[in-house]
């Protein structure tokens, strides 16, 4: 992550945390990480086979499909947290950048509301902390 992006992301997180705590007290203690031990990220080739162009060669690639799914899970709010964590991990493995994931989540604040966006950004931040830095982003 670049310094400018890290600062922007930090500001988003701070603002969103204040709003989320006002709208959804108690959700910050929910921990869904236990599920991840059962579902590690798949290799990129397998992701592309199942979620990419294998069944629809002219369709969306796995990276794009995961970004769309991240958007949908963000709008669902905290109920989709375990699925969101895995989708973010798999999206990164399929080639999405951390910035793309964050931008998709931020965009969903208009559709799912700020609390849902904030929770998704928190989930993304925890996944990013566990993910090696990108080479080109």
Domain ranges for the chain, please list them.
Answer: 3-25+32-129
Q: Is 133 exposed, middle or buried (0-12, 13-18, 19+ CB in 10 A)?
A: exposed
Q: What number does CATH give the domain 3-25+32-129?
A: 1.20.1290
pLDDT beyond 70 at 55: no
Q: pLDDT value at position 70?
A: 97
Q: pLDDT value at position 41?
A: 61
Say which DSSP state 59 is in: S
| Whole-number percent of the chain with pLDDT over 90 | 41
28 is written with which tokens? 């910050």
Average pLDDT over residues 58-68: 87
Instruction: Identify the band that residue 134 occupies on the pLDDT scale cut at 50, 70 and 90.
Output: low
pTM: 0.62
Count of CA atoms in the C-beta half-sphere (13 A) of 56 = 7
Kindly report the average pLDDT of the chain as a whole number.
Answer: 79
Alpha helical stretches, state H, 3-80: 3-23, 44-51, 62-76
- Of 27-31, 85-89, 103-107, where does mean pLDDT reach its minimum? 27-31
Average pLDDT over residues 3-19: 74
Q: pLDDT value at position 112?
A: 92
C-alpha to C-alpha distance for 9 and 19, rounded to whole angstroms: 15
Tell how far CA 79 is from the center of its chain: 14
C-alpha to C-alpha distance for 46 and 53, rounded to whole angstroms: 11
Q: List C-alpha distances in Å: 52 to 20, 37, 96, 98.
A: 34, 24, 13, 19
Instruction: Identify the band that residue 40 occupies on the pLDDT scale cut at 50, 70 and 90.
Output: low
C-alpha to C-alpha distance for 10 and 50, rounded to whole angstroms: 34
């Amino acid at each position: 992550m670049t310094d400018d992006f890290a600062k922007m992301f930090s500001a988003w997180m701070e603002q969103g945390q204040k709003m989320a705590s006002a709208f959804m007290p108690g959700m910050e203690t929910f921990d869904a990480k236990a599920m991840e031990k059962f579902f590690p990220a798949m290799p990129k080739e397998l992701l592309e086979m199942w979620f990419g162009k294998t069944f629809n060669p002219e369709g969306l690639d796995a990276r794009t499909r995961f970004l769309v799914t991240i958007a949908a899970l963000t709008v669902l709010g905290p109920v989709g947290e375990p699925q969101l964590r895995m989708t973010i991990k798999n999206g990164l493995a399929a080639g999405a950048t951390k910035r793309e994931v964050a931008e998709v989540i931020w965009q969903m604040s208009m559709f799912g509301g700020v609390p849902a966006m904030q929770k998704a950004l928190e989930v993304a931040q925890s996944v990013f902390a566990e993910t090696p830095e990108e080479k080109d982003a």
